[in-house]
Structure 1
Amino acid sequence: MQCSYFDAASCRSCTLMGQPYAAQLAGKVRHCQDLLAAHRDLSWLPPVPSREAGYRNKAKMVVAGTVEEPTLGILDGEGRGVDLRECGLCTPGLQQVLPTLAGFVTRAKLTPYDVPRRRGELKYLLLTESPDGELMLRFVLRSEEPLGRIRKHLPALRRELPQLRVVSANLQPEHKAVLEGQREIVLTEQATLPMRVNGVALHLRPQSFFQTNTDVAAALYRQGRAWVEELAPASVWDLYCGVGGFALHSAAADRDVLGVETSREAVASGRVSAREAGLERVRFEAGDATALVRGAQTAPDLVIVNPPRRGIGPELSGWLEAAPVRHVIYSSCNAVSLARDLAAMPSLRPRRARVLDMFPQTNHYEAMVLLERA
């Protein structure tokens, strides 16, 4: 993949840009295999590649510049805006609408937030595209002051972009490196964006997490479903479940599935998906995964974990090691913490592993491991 922003040193976020894709993927597999080399009986499945470009289903654009000439992209070392609206990693659908959104900033007089001076209102535009080509747009604002103008001009924007289904404003008044605040104000009748993956409708709310690469996320869930179907457990816990991707893919008429997630928005999304699909034995609870197991009186046959980069940590690893859980499926976005957690569960032997390239042009990837109690 060729990138003019990288060549001009305007953006160096993609650390592997310019390297042949086959070499990128081979390097990620090698990195993961080296970290898990202690597990000599581990069988490696072929890696799952991605499109090199146009794979990102979300654009997190810092808004800078002026009302008349806003930039959508990142900030340089001095806090000035670098416009990246033609970033080749974003899907064509996202690239197509970014100029229209820049025009909306001007029309609605949304003053970009000036980081060095700590002035202005609009901090970010967060845009997500579904597999059906529909869009969710979130304005991250310093205060409610621009809301009236956004509401006034929103009907015209929706006429320009009929694929725009969900629009919201997130309030982040503090001057610190935090993307969004806790308060979300939905500005459209529709509050969730359906993300249809492998025939499963996942409902994405404004503050819910969804994988960045839809095609590879679909492969991730298919792999999880294949392992679950092979093992045929009577009960499954999906910890760090997000909007319920693994839980909903694990559903069966004779299986109890529980998804656990700290985000109440994500849990609400999972419940909607389960209800619409008629999955009465799939339920979701809001809470901390470690707290759940700490008070658990029983254990399921199989546990799926999909934690953030820090991993599942010593307490949950210790519980899985001691509990009568027969199998664990561990989906990791950080093979370093994955290796550390596996070392803390010696009774659960890694049997199969797979690298899925969720983030081409970067060093990041997803790894899945199937563990079986010895």
Structure 2
Amino acid sequence: MVKKGEIIEIKIEDLKFPNRGQSILEDKKIIVHNTLPGQEVRVRIKKKRKSKVEATLLEVIAPAPNQIEAPCKVFGECGGCTYQNLSYGDQLELKEKFVKEILADYDIDEVFEGVLPSPKIFGYRNKMEFSFGDSYKDGPLELGLHKRGSMYDIVDASKCMLVDKDFNKVLSAVLSFARKRGYSYYHKRTHEGFLRHLVVRKGIKTRELLIELVTSSQGTLDEQDFLEAVKELDLDATVKSIIHTKNDSLSDVVQEDLSKVLFGQGFIYDEIKGLKFKITPRSFFQTNTLGAEVLYDKVSEYAGSDSAKQIFDLYCGTGTITQILAKSHEHVTGIEIVEDAVKAAVENAELNGVENARFICGDVMEEVSKLDSKPDVIILDPPRDGIHVKAIDKIIGFNPEVFVYVSCKPTSLARDLPSFLEAGYEIKKVCCVDMFSNTPHVETCVL
């Protein structure tokens, strides 16, 4: 009988979403995160429960048969990637397995159209939030991503492969500037210190760059030196905006109490499917621009080509899907709770000359009750946690011909689907789009 804290060796037999390796130990399921089927591993028993045991990975003794060497030197230490040690083909097969297992109760095999690959496997992200900190207690200032399983320690991300070289050059320049000036970083435990985050956003189609330095108010930024540190860089993109944001929130999220544009216009533009979109530091915009085009093509296909259709786009964000659908349909109504996103949606629609779309700011649960028109199609692209239980019946009550559900978390999708099936709808098609290569995440589109 194993005990908590005991170190044992096991072979991983299976893998469950998102990264839970499994095996059998003493007739119980044992779970070890961040492992692969076929790996022989050394683990420490962390928790023992009636039905399962949880263990922490200490060492991979023998690799999995299909395991490859990860190209990133900090893979395994950094929390940014999970499956760089699998070929891209194996990653897509794994994501298909995850989705099919999670939706196993809905018998989707006959209607499943596969996982569409990301146009780019590396360097696909158009946004990255880097954190200031140290890689070990009282170590030198670092700027990068969180270590796997840690809220505090930071891994050097100056050669991160999820973004292109412009991001890495900006990161290195800002870290060098901060070290030279002797700035402290904001400590999450004591809530003391100055530097918090570096946000970089890039227009993939427009090659425009936005750089935002987020600090607390517990210090003074040398604005001129900071501008010189980043404006003189040899970049592929053109720096269009440099912003200093102060954030004194106790939580470790990027938000603004006060923002100052140090250079440029305070925003950038990017393009999707021939439409132009204004992107501010807080704008929601799919992080994989080229992958988003693949996803939106699938959404448009599922919505149908009848130009007379009235469409509701619920949880519309900045209105990307809304405007794309408005090009080939009579009228589209978008609803979004985030006020800044709705303002951006209205502005982007004007920028693109889209006149047959309107945007409503409010909670979907409340706003759908106020709509008097009957939609032929409803697009659902809710947050990761899915549709609020109090909203789903109201949405189904519109009784459209077609629902298109876009989900970034298949477990939330699996929870919501019964409501549609009980109302008489059938699953006609399911297709996944890999927007996040080298991670377990995938977008699932259901007609």
2:217 is aligned with 1:217: no
What does residue range 264-275 of structure 1 map to in structure 2 within 5 Å?
A: 264-275=339-350
- Aligned residue for 1:291, secondary structure, equals helix
Q: Could you tell me whether the CA contact under 8 Å between 2:193 and 2:218 is conserved in 1?
A: no
Which letter does structure 2 place at the counterpart of 1:358? M
Contact 2:123–2:162, Cα closer than 8 Å, also in 1: yes
Q: Which residue, out of 136, 142, 145, partners 1:74?
A: 145
1:81–1:335 distance in 2 versus 1, CA, 3 Å: closer
Distance 1:32 1:138 in 2: 36
- 2-side partners of 1:278 and 1:144: how far apart? 44
Measure the CA separation in 1 of the matches of 2:217 and 2:308.
49
- Structure 2 equivalent of residue 135 of structure 1: 209
> Which aligned pairs between 1:221-260 and structure 2 lie closer than 5 A?
221-252=296-327, 255-260=330-335
Q: Which runs of 5+ in 1 are unaligned?
A: none
Structure 1 SS opposite 2:196: strand
Alpha-carbon separation, structure 2, partners of 1:78 and 1:297:
47
The reply on whether 1:30 has 2:97 as its aligned counterpart is yes
Matched, 1:96 2:173: no
Give 1:15 deviation, angstroms. 2.2
Counterpart for residue 87 of structure 1: 160
Aligned partner of 1:355 in structure 2 is 432
Measured in 2, the distance between the counterparts of 1:326 and 1:184 equals 45
Shift of 1:159: 4.1
> Which amino acid in the other structure matches residue 78 of structure 2?
C
C-alpha distance 174-38 of structure 1, shift in aligned 2 (>3 A): same
Tell me, yes or no, if the aligned pair for 1:144 and 1:171 is still in contact at 8 Å: no
Aligned-pair CA distance for 1:69 = 5.7
Indicate the residue corresponding to 2:3 in structure 1: none
Between the two proteins, what is the percent identity of the paired residues?
27
Find the aligned partners of 1:354 and 1:309 in 2 and give their Cα distance. 18
Conserved in 2, the CA contact under 8 Å of 1:48 and 1:216?
no
> Residue 170 of structure 1 aligns with which residue?
245
Aligned-residue CA RMSD in angstroms?
A: 2.6
- The one-character-per-residue Cα deviations of 1:168-190 (angstroms, maximum 9, x if unpaired) are 33332133333334554444441
Match of 1:44 in 2: 112
Contact 2:79 2:146 in 1 (8 A): no
**CA distance in structure 2 between the partners assigned to 1:151 and 1:285 by the alignment:** 41
The answer on whether the counterparts of 2:244 and 2:262 sit within 8 Å (CA) in structure 1 is yes
Q: Which of 52, 56, 78 is 1:11 aligned to?
A: 78
More helix by share: 1
Gap change, CA 1:262 and 1:152, over 3 Å in 2: farther
Indicate the residue corresponding to 1:280 in structure 2: 355
**Using CA pairs below 8 Å that are at least 6 residues apart, which structure has the higher relative contact order?**
1
Contact 1:233 1:302 in 2 (8 A): no
1:313–1:341 CA contact under 8 A, matched in 2: no
Higher mean alpha-carbon deviation, 172-181 vs 23-32, is at 172-181
TM-score (norm 2): 0.75
- Measured at CA, do residues 253 and 15 of structure 1 come closer, stay the same or move farther in structure 2, by a change above 3 Å? closer
Mapping 1:185-224, distance limit 5 Å: 185-224=260-299
Contact 2:80 2:145 in 1 (8 A): no
Structure 2 CA distance for aligned equivalents of residues 114 and 103 of structure 1: 20
Query: Could you report, residue by residue, the CA deviation over 1:221-245 in whole angstroms, capped at 9, with x for unpaired residues?
Result: 1222233342445211211111111
> Partners in 2 of 1:203 and 1:144 — Cα distance?
31
Q: CA deviation at 1:216?
A: 0.9
Aligned to 2:415: 340
Cα distance in structure 2, aligned partners of 1:299 and 1:182: 41
The CA deviation at 1:35 is 2.5
For residue 31 of structure 1, what is the amino acid of its counterpart?
F
The structure that has the greater radius of gyration is 2
Question: Aligned residues, how many?
Answer: 366
Cα 1:177/1:156, change in 2 over 3 Å: closer
Q: After the TM superposition, which of the residue ranges 255-264 and 91-100 deviates more from structure 2?
A: 91-100
Unaligned stretches of 5+ residues in structure 2: 1-69
Match of 2:380 in 1: 305
**Counterpart-to-counterpart distance in 2, 1:358 and 1:70:** 32
Q: Counterpart of 1:59?
A: 128
Following TM superposition, by how much is the alpha carbon of 1:274 offset from its aligned partner in structure 2, in angstroms?
1.0
The CA deviation string for residues 140-162 of structure 1, in whole angstroms up to 9 with x for no partner, is: 22127435x23664266334367
Q: TM-score, normalised by structure 1?
A: 0.88
The AA in structure 2 aligned to 1:349 is: E
Please identify, of 178-187 and 190-199, the stretch whose mean Cα deviation from structure 2 is larger: 178-187
